[in-house]
A and B are shown apart, each in its own frame.
Chain A
């Protein structure tokens, strides 16, 4: 039997090496435009952080899937009490953090309490506002008590800002992130690249990639040669819109146009005369020619028109682009009714992204047709946040609101739109305590309609996600329901 065994072993060995010689590639270099400031998703709003670590390095109780749906993650399942105020999460067992420490209910309590503490610097503290207390039942069960029922609670727990961290490593996650995900952080060459490698001790399905590198390519002009030379095999968000036709014509690459959660709007200061007059805002809405704006200001002209502050990819979306159709005569009439037939002067502050700078030029020339003379003021992000967002010192501006399901911002007091409509506030307040999907859908549709009718802002287009990658790479997200590059299903095919 012995010789037989060794022959078998030898042939197995040959087979194994043979297979590995033909096995698909297991490394991937992805190009990203912005370098994250650090790698702790619980301490920054920077999308660049989640684009590296979300679902790869860190996991939450729940997670958001490729189409925006809530899926179980570290919580295998959950029960919701009758009154909708108590969530009991049943956790996966045998889960370990990358530093070898175990993950259990205590870590859940720690993570949630840390995020909602008074001195917390979590950028999305609002996600945790409804939590009243967190209680450890046993190592695999945790109870979260809410102050009032919250329809979006499970979704909120899927955000990158709500991922689970360990008390041992929470303080150092910025530099050396330690999560429970299928990839471990390996190395960060500042300004250059971030590398993650397969976590052999992962509790769930093993990933196909052994190694993934996020390479920082800040310049749009550099992205094209990086792709063509094979240095970078995937740009989940391809920055060079002008070069798309060239890449599209090349069979080595796939161009995948998907949806994001980025509502690009002509934000309007609703308290500043004459924009406080709804007739003026309606006149602007009638003047905006979305087709021209999308062609000129969205990557490759791939933006999807929107008529309210809501993503067309969402199942509760209604098309309101016809509320105030492109109609100059009507717009002029409205200006006359507002007593402004001779027009007026105003400013438009434009942050750095191309959609804003290019869109601003187009909108300025369009508004000239009804006598609104816009002075274009380019600003940096820092200035924009200071002057426009915080100081509300602006008339018009263009910006993309990339947080998912963020229609609620219109109900915020003192938000930079200066919009105040008790009817709308009531809808959002109801929405917050409603868990029934049918009722939620109804409320969301009402909310969209109110915003469209009030012409709060100029609703322009949904930012497209233009992904470009090697034709042999599969499993990258087509859409971007949250800002992430989930690599758990990514693999090479031959």
Chain B
């Protein structure tokens, strides 16, 4: 187990290094001068040069890369060029929105998808199956921003149950925060749940054809118990894989939903940083996201071992 973890760690660090080179190189090639962007069209060349000097943009490329990477390795993620605050503060501010949102969406999606998948698989080929999977098909096809706008008009404009968008901050109470995140979470969760339900169903159907299921049924276990205890547990591996991928997406790939609900999340921070050519923020946020994806993948691998005892002993 330790050897396995060490190996994963080494691969993770290599991936990070590779990502750092790619991110840095791409941002060098993309046209755009952060100093000119900040000062605008009316600024004199003097003022722009003074700002470039202040930002350290006039140093050679390699020097900048090495300084940045060395600082990053020691946990110093640099200062934002546009906001002139430490990047870590910016990320932390966004994470208090993005992380609960991702977790909420993932939880909702799981709560909907697993029972739906079980329900459909247990009634394979029958009307209930076709209907559930038909719904899931619709769920996959609906763009989440459209669903989001629909939710806003119904629940915020018409019923006035929740705010139309924005995030009041956790300082204004737990419920106020949850209320603001509820609709975006639903908008994110439904399409994800649709995919997850389909995966759950097909994984279950495959498992349900196995000999041990027939044995379990033959020894007299009730259908429900076979389904939940034997079949689901064995079908969980592909489901967990998809959930891992979805969580990584939910952390920063939610820019459109963040825009519709004007939530200050990680996706929007990254998007803004790219348009503003806030190089340090882009580089550091991407590196942190790469790290997060690596960690999530390791966790998913570890969870395989948790659901499947055979994987534990083999290593």
Within 8 A of B (CB), among A383-430: 383, 385-387, 389-390, 401, 403, 406, 409
Flag if B42 contacts A403 (CB, 8 Å): yes
- In the complex, the chain A residue whose C-beta lies closest to that of B90 is A190
In angstroms, how far is the closest chain B Cβ from the Cβ of A251?
16
Contact of B169 among A38, A118, A189 (CB under 8 A): A189
Q: Assess whether A122 is interfacial by the CB under 8 Å rule.
A: yes
Binds A, one of B70-78, B239-247, B268-276: B268-276
Flag if A123 contacts B166 (CB, 8 Å): no
| A118–B50 alpha-carbon span in the complex (Å) | 8
Flag if A215 contacts B82 (CB, 8 Å): no
Flag if B264 contacts A190 (CB, 8 Å): yes
Binds B, one of A224-232, A294-302, A454-462: A224-232
Within 8 A of A (CB), among B7-45: 30-34, 36-44
Q: Assess whether B131 is interfacial by the CB under 8 Å rule.
A: no
Flag if B93 contacts A389 (CB, 8 Å): no
Q: Assess whether A26 is interfacial by the CB under 8 Å rule.
A: no
- In the complex, the chain A residue whose C-beta lies closest to that of B261 is A222
Q: Assess whether B153 is interfacial by the CB under 8 Å rule.
A: yes
| A229–B41 alpha-carbon span in the complex (Å) | 37
- Collect the chain B residues with CB atoms within 8 Å of residue A189's CB: 93, 167, 169, 264
Q: Assess whether B54 is interfacial by the CB under 8 Å rule.
A: yes
Binds A, one of B106-114, B157-165, B187-195: B157-165
Q: Assess whether B262 is interfacial by the CB under 8 Å rule.
A: yes
| A190–B94 alpha-carbon span in the complex (Å) | 8
Within 8 A of A (CB), among B172-193: none
| A125–B84 alpha-carbon span in the complex (Å) | 21
Flag if A44 contacts B152 (CB, 8 Å): no
| A406–B43 alpha-carbon span in the complex (Å) | 13
Given contacts A37-B83, A221-B149, A382-B32, contact A123 B42 (CB under 8 A): yes
Flag if A193 contacts B157 (CB, 8 Å): no
Given contacts A191-B94, A191-B269, A192-B264, contact A406 B42 (CB under 8 A): yes
- Collect the chain B residues with CB atoms within 8 Å of residue A79's CB: none
Flag if A190 contacts B36 (CB, 8 Å): no
Within 8 A of B (CB), among A112-129: 118-126
Contact of A225 among B40, B47, B84, B156 (CB under 8 A): B156
- Collect the chain A residues with CB atoms within 8 Å of residue B31's CB: 382-383, 386-387
Flag if A218 contacts B37 (CB, 8 Å): no
- In the complex, the chain A residue whose C-beta lies closest to that of B51 is A121
- Collect the chain B residues with CB atoms within 8 Å of residue A37's CB: 38, 82-83, 276
In angstroms, how far is the closest chain A Cβ from the Cβ of B82?
4
Flag if A126 contacts B50 (CB, 8 Å): no
**Majority secondary structure, A binding face:** loop
| A38–B38 alpha-carbon span in the complex (Å) | 10
Q: Give the number of chain A interface residues (Cβ < 8 Å).
A: 48
- In the complex, the chain A residue whose C-beta lies closest to that of B169 is A189
Flag if A217 contacts B32 (CB, 8 Å): no
Contact of B264 among A45, A175, A191, A383 (CB under 8 A): A191
Flag if B39 contacts A380 (CB, 8 Å): no
In angstroms, how far is the closest chain B Cβ from the Cβ of A73?
22
- Collect the chain A residues with CB atoms within 8 Å of residue B269's CB: 191
- Collect the chain A residues with CB atoms within 8 Å of residue B153's CB: 225
- Collect the chain A residues with CB atoms within 8 Å of residue B51's CB: 121
Contact of A382 among B50, B260, B275 (CB under 8 A): B275
Flag if B169 contacts A229 (CB, 8 Å): no
Contact of B39 among A123, A191, A216, A386 (CB under 8 A): A123
Q: Give the number of chain B interface residues (Cβ < 8 Å).
A: 52
Flag if A125 contacts B163 (CB, 8 Å): no
Flag if A385 contacts B84 (CB, 8 Å): no
In angstroms, how far is the closest chain A Cβ from the Cβ of B37?
6
In angstroms, how far is the closest chain A Cβ from the Cβ of B256?
9
Flag if B165 contacts A217 (CB, 8 Å): yes
Flag if A231 contacts B40 (CB, 8 Å): no
In angstroms, how far is the closest chain B Cβ from the Cβ of A65?
22
Given contacts A229-B156, A382-B31, contact A126 B262 (CB under 8 A): no
| A121–B44 alpha-carbon span in the complex (Å) | 9
| A386–B31 alpha-carbon span in the complex (Å) | 6
- Collect the chain B residues with CB atoms within 8 Å of residue A124's CB: 42-43
A303-325 toward B: CB 8 Å interface, digit per residue (1/0)? 00000000000000000000000
A3-39 toward B: CB 8 Å interface, digit per residue (1/0)? 0000000000000000000000000000000010110
Q: Assess whether B211 is interfacial by the CB under 8 Å rule.
A: no
| A120–B49 alpha-carbon span in the complex (Å) | 10
| A363–B219 alpha-carbon span in the complex (Å) | 78
Contact of A175 among B36, B85, B276 (CB under 8 A): B85
Flag if A219 contacts B40 (CB, 8 Å): no
Flag if B82 contacts A218 (CB, 8 Å): no
Q: Assess whether B198 is interfacial by the CB under 8 Å rule.
A: no
24 A-B residue pairings within 8 Å (CB atoms): A35-B272, A45-B39, A45-B41, A121-B50, A189-B169, A189-B264, A190-B93, A191-B93, A191-B272, A217-B165, A222-B259, A222-B262, A225-B165, A226-B165, A226-B166, A228-B164, A229-B163, A231-B156, A231-B165, A231-B166, A385-B41, A386-B33, A390-B33, A409-B42
Listed from nearest, the 10 A-B pairs whose CB atoms lie closest are A45-B40, A191-B264, A382-B32, A37-B82, A229-B164, A219-B259, A192-B264, A123-B39, A386-B31, A225-B164
Besides A37-B83, A124-B43, A389-B41, 13 new A-B residue pairs in contact (Cβ under 8 A), listed by A number:
A123-B40, A175-B84, A190-B94, A191-B265, A191-B272, A216-B264, A222-B260, A228-B157, A230-B160, A231-B163, A382-B277, A401-B41, A403-B41
| A residues at B contact (CB < 8 Å) | 35, 37-38, 44-46, 118-126, 174-175, 189-193, 215-219, 221-222, 225-226, 228-231, 380-383, 385-387, 389-390, 401, 403, 406, 409
